[in-house]
Amino acid sequence: MSIILFVYEGKKHERKYIKSLMQETDINIKDTIIETAFCNNIYGLCRVTQGFDTVEDKIYQLFKKQKLKALGSNAQLIPTREDISEIYLFFDYDGHVPMANNKVIKEMLRVFNNETEQGKLYISYPMLEALKDKKNCVFKIKNGKKYKQDVGRTGIHLPKGATFNKLTLHHLKKANFLVNGQRKKPNSLIKQHDIFNAQLTKHISPNKEVAVLSALPLFYLDYKGVSALTSLN
């Protein structure tokens, strides 16, 4: 049995967004998917994973200890570590929370950098709702608590079809510009640690802001490859 483990920060919205992404951009995952929620931010995840001896066991041990809440129709399925072929984690930057620490983000991206080993971490700036943000190019970190409400009022509804494809391509172009200075479709994969380093040097450190960027299109790019971008118009 081959299983893909999705680890979300929250129980509801991440799952909804991932489902829409897979449906609307034709990500066809044939393996069994187990969806889980940590129900805390990335800084909390760092704290609880530090106690495990081996990197490869970190997320699986959380799952076994039920610190990851299983969601959906496969919630009762308890696989062995060998059954899990890929692990993907989706979390927010959340730079406004009291425990926010850029060194933690850098370390988490270093540890969780391979989906077939310890897991691959994807970070949205400032948070998940960045995908439907039609107003902000950058957002002040100190105003993070207001972001979800702000986007709920001014952003678009969770898109479908061509609109979803356009937003996916839009964020990939934003990521390419942030990292490579090119306002066009990327012609190679864009690593999460390169995105964070660019955020840190161009926005976080000098201006106490982040470039608004959704992690979901980067997952699409990694999973489908550069050649798939021809279908996003």
| DSSP string computed for 185-222 | --SS---HHHHHHHHIIIIIHHHSEEE-B-SHHHHHHH
What spatial distance separates the first Cα and last Cα of the chain, rounded to whole Å?
36
Q: Could you give the 3-state DSSP secondary structure of residue 148?
A: helix
So what's the pLDDT on residue 67?
A: 84
Q: What is the domain range of residue 69?
A: 3-231
How would residue 51 be classed by pLDDT, with cut points 50, 70 and 90? low
Of residues 1 and 201, the one with the higher pLDDT is 201
Query: Are 62 and 37 within 8 A, CB to CB?
Result: no
For the chain, give the percent of residues with pLDDT over 90: 62
Lowest mean per-residue pLDDT among 52-56, 83-87, 101-105: 52-56
**Residue type at position 142:** K
The token pair at 34 is 């187990």
What is the tally of structural domains in the chain?
1
Buried-state track 106-138, b at ≥16 Cβ within 10 A, e below 16 = eebbebbeebeebbbbbbbbbbbbbbbbeebee
For the chain, give the percent of residues with pLDDT over 70: 96
55, pLDDT greater than 60: no
Query: Are 174 and 221 within 8 A, CB to CB?
Result: no
So what's the pLDDT on residue 41?
A: 96
**In whole numbers, what is the pLDDT of the chain averaged over residues?**
91
Q: Could you give the 3-state DSSP secondary structure of residue 8?
A: strand
Query: Are 144 and 94 within 8 A, CB to CB?
Result: yes
What pairing do the DSSP bridges indicate for beta strands 32-37 and 3-8? parallel
Model pLDDT for residues 97-152, shown as the tens digit of each residue: 999 999 999 999 999 999 998 899 999 999 999 998 888 899 999 998 899 888 87
Model pLDDT for residues 140-167, shown as the tens digit of each residue: 999 988 998 888 777 777 767 678 888 8
So what's the pLDDT on residue 52?
A: 66
So what's the pLDDT on residue 203?
A: 98
The answer for residues whose C-beta is within 8 angstroms of residue 115's C-beta and 6 or more apart is: 86, 87, 88
